[in-house]
Amino acid sequence: MHVPLVFNSPGQSLSREEVREALSCLNDNVRLAQVGLVRWFPQVREAAAVDERANRMRAILLDAIEVLRPPRRLPFGALESRHYDVLSMRYVEGMTVNQVARELSLGRRQIHRDLQQAEEKLAEVLSSWPGVTPEAEPVPGEDPLRTELQALASEPAAVELQEAVKSAIALVGPLAQRLDARVTWCAAVEQSSFVVADRAVLRQLLVLLLSTAIQSAPGAQIAVNIIAMEEDASSLAVAISLPADVRQLKADRLTEAQLIASSQGIGCELWAGAEGRSEIRLLLRRSKPVSVLVVEDNPSAVELYRRYLPPDAWEVQSVSDPRLAYKAASDLRPDVIILDIMMPKMDGWSVLSVLASHPKTADIPVLICSVVYDPELAEALGARAYLKKPLSESQLLAALNRILVGR
């Protein structure tokens, strides 16, 4: 794609939030194909296939980042090249904020400030390119799937994954027979594998993805497998493998599946499989007790979390004095921390800063749950997610599942 050297003055500008959303899923085709930034680029919107739409969006972002490259060679990490350096390391190379900070010999907060400025600069660059025209915004309430998902009262519990997959394969059997497709089943993990999910929603997801695969590859063999994720022992994936010659996946179906999965804290991604085959993967968290440390001075809130997080799947421990949060976190090493902001003696922001600054606790994901709503500050200080009180059981479970699957 040609990088324009002469920029136009746009009537409307892209937001930093849209740019950041796209950068954060640069290597996830399913998510990248449906980010808000897509609506600004006609050449991306017109692509029907998920892979093609994602590839076009990715090329635009990479070209825009290159515009920020200094015209002359500068010392690594020099102020004049900082915007280019932090964007390349964080999003293109996939480094964490801590890794970027170490590479540039800077503090985490400085890296967050540099990233914010770089994302704003990238939004300016993209806004000034010729042909950038936003698609008309959808009328609120026109998307029945989003509306229904918002109202869905899901009930995550321990679900036997092999049983769920076999049930979904049986359900799409008549469709596979009609289209002369063969669905083969294999499990590369132990005989019994439990995951955390809403049983009905998980089966709907599996049926939707299998149906999409069958209709995208009539007459082909589709392999379904349960695999353990090497990089994350706490997760399992259902991999639906498609033939190498399948190029036109049904984009609308994959978009629906990704929306449903996201609402449940389940990952839904498109992977490059072996021998040129494509794989649609559902990433699910294994069902084993997850340790949760709640830092909250309100006993009623702690009791609410205990009701929302049943003991068969969650081990909830709490600290009412925020000054004891670091010691409790370093001693217990919980899988996740739920943190309030409005507390006496020490506020939640200070607790978050302390946790992020110590090697023993810096890698423990933190979910902020507070009446105070400032997700930008929370992210800058190291939080993984933010929920505003009052919150529902489904909101809490979905947020925790997203954190645990994605860590």
> Between 188 and 401, where is the model more confident?
401
| Same fold yes or no, 154-285 and 290-406 | no
Q: d(Cα 367, Cα 120) in Å, to the nearest integer?
A: 26
The mean pLDDT value for 226-244 works out to 76
Contacts of 115 by beta carbon, 8 Å cutoff, 6+ apart: 86, 87, 90, 97
Q: In 3D, which of 372, 330, 367, 328 has the Cα closest to residue 347?
A: 372
Is-contact 16 116, C-beta < 8 A? Answer: yes
pLDDT at 341: 96
Residue 125 has pLDDT above 70, yes or no: yes
2 — pLDDT class (breaks 50, 70, 90): very low
pLDDT at 144: 72
Residue 100 has pLDDT above 70, yes or no: yes
* Low-confidence winner among 33-37, 57-61, 80-84 (lowest mean pLDDT): 33-37
pLDDT at 167: 92
**Phi, psi angle pair for 92, to nearest 5°:** -80, -45
Contacts of 339 by beta carbon, 8 Å cutoff, 6+ apart: 295, 296, 325, 348, 351, 352, 366, 367, 368, 369, 370, 383
304 — pLDDT class (breaks 50, 70, 90): very high
pLDDT at 5: 29
Q: d(Cα 189, Cα 374) in Å, to the nearest integer?
A: 41
pLDDT at 337: 97
Q: d(Cα 171, Cα 167) in Å, to the nearest integer?
A: 6
pLDDT at 55: 87
Helix (H, G, I), strand (E, B), or coil: what is residue 109? helix
**CATH homologous superfamily of domain 290-406?**
Response regulator (3.40.50.2300)
Q: Where is mean pLDDT largest: 80-94, 219-233, 330-344?
A: 330-344
How many other C-beta atoms can be found within 10 angstroms of the C-beta atom of residue 46?
A: 10
The mean pLDDT value for 3-29 works out to 66
Contacts of 59 by beta carbon, 8 Å cutoff, 6+ apart: 1
Q: Which residue has the tokens 């590369």?
A: 188
pLDDT at 150: 66
Residue 190 has pLDDT above 70, yes or no: no
pLDDT tens sequence across 364-378: 999 999 999 998 999
Q: In 3D, which of 333, 377, 331 has the Cα closest to residue 352?
A: 377
Q: Which amino acid is at 111?
A: I
Runs of H (alpha helix) within 264-324: 299-308
> Between 352 and 274, where is the model more confident?
352
pLDDT tens sequence across 202-218: 999 999 999 988 888 88
Q: What share of the chain is helix, strand, coil (3-state, %, to 5)?
A: 45, 15, 35
140 — pLDDT class (breaks 50, 70, 90): low
Residue 11 has pLDDT above 80, yes or no: no
pLDDT at 317: 95
pLDDT at 261: 85
Domain 154-285 belongs in CATH node 1.10.10.10: no
Is-contact 361 372, C-beta < 8 A? Answer: no
Q: In 3D, which of 81, 100, 102 has the Cα closest to residue 92?
A: 100
Take residue 248 and report the two structure tokens written for it.
């036109």
- pLDDT cut 70: percent of the chain above it: 82
pLDDT at 284: 85
* Low-confidence winner among 26-40, 200-214, 244-258, 331-345 (lowest mean pLDDT): 244-258
DSSP state at residue 327: H
Q: In 3D, which of 333, 320, 326, 316 has the Cα closest to residue 350?
A: 326
Q: Where are the domains of the chain?
A: 16-127, 154-285, 290-406
Residue 170 has pLDDT above 90, yes or no: yes
Residue 257 has pLDDT above 70, yes or no: yes
* Low-confidence winner among 13-22, 71-80, 267-276 (lowest mean pLDDT): 71-80
* Low-confidence winner among 4-13, 210-219, 227-236, 305-314 (lowest mean pLDDT): 4-13
Burial class, 190, CB count within 10 angstroms (exposed 0-12 / middle 13-18 / buried 19+):
exposed
Burial class, 167, CB count within 10 angstroms (exposed 0-12 / middle 13-18 / buried 19+):
middle
pLDDT at 6: 29
* Cα 292 from chain centroid (whole Å): 21
DSSP state at residue 231: T
Give the chain's mean pLDDT: 82
Q: Which residue has the tokens 């493998």?
A: 241
